[in-house]
Amino acid sequence: MTQTTALRRGLRFTDSTMPELIEALAKTKARMRLVDGLLRSSPTESADGELPMTRAQLTNLRREMVTLQSDLRAELRRRGEL
């Protein structure tokens, strides 16, 4: 990651209020715990016999959430809250 990328991290949240940032971070952490649990567990089928998401989809979702969490934390650090 270049320095300019690091400086831009979280800028999409500059118009968000502190309560919105904190709530979004908490929701992201909770979702990550759920996805991590699904990734660790053995595949269980739903009632119709199909998995709701493939392992690859869960992994991609987790990557997106890690990026989102990093952006939220960057904006909170910029505001002096972390």
Residue 45 lies in a domain: no
Residue 27 lies in a domain: yes
Instruction: Give the model's pLDDT for residue 55.
Output: 87
Residue 5 lies in a domain: no
CA dist list (Å): 67 to 10, 32, 44, 73: 9, 11, 28, 10
Residue 3 lies in a domain: no
DSSP symbols for 12-76:
GGTTS-HHHHHHHHHHHHHHHHHHHHHHHSPP---TTSS-SS-HHHHHHHHHHHHHHHHHHHHHH
Cα 78 → chain centroid: 19
> How confident is the model over 44-64, as pLDDT tens digits?
555 555 667 888 999 999 999
Instruction: Give the model's pLDDT for residue 39.
Output: 87
Give me 69's structure tokens.
């969490």
Residue 6 lies in a domain: no
> How confident is the model over 13-31, as pLDDT tens digits?
989 999 999 999 999 999 9
Our count of domains for the chain comes to 1
Using a cut of 0.85, tell me whether the model's pTM lies above it: no
CA distance 8 to 3: 9
Residue 24 lies in a domain: yes
Contact predicate 74/20, CB 8 Å = no
Residue 10 lies in a domain: no
Domain that holds residue 73: 16-40+52-82
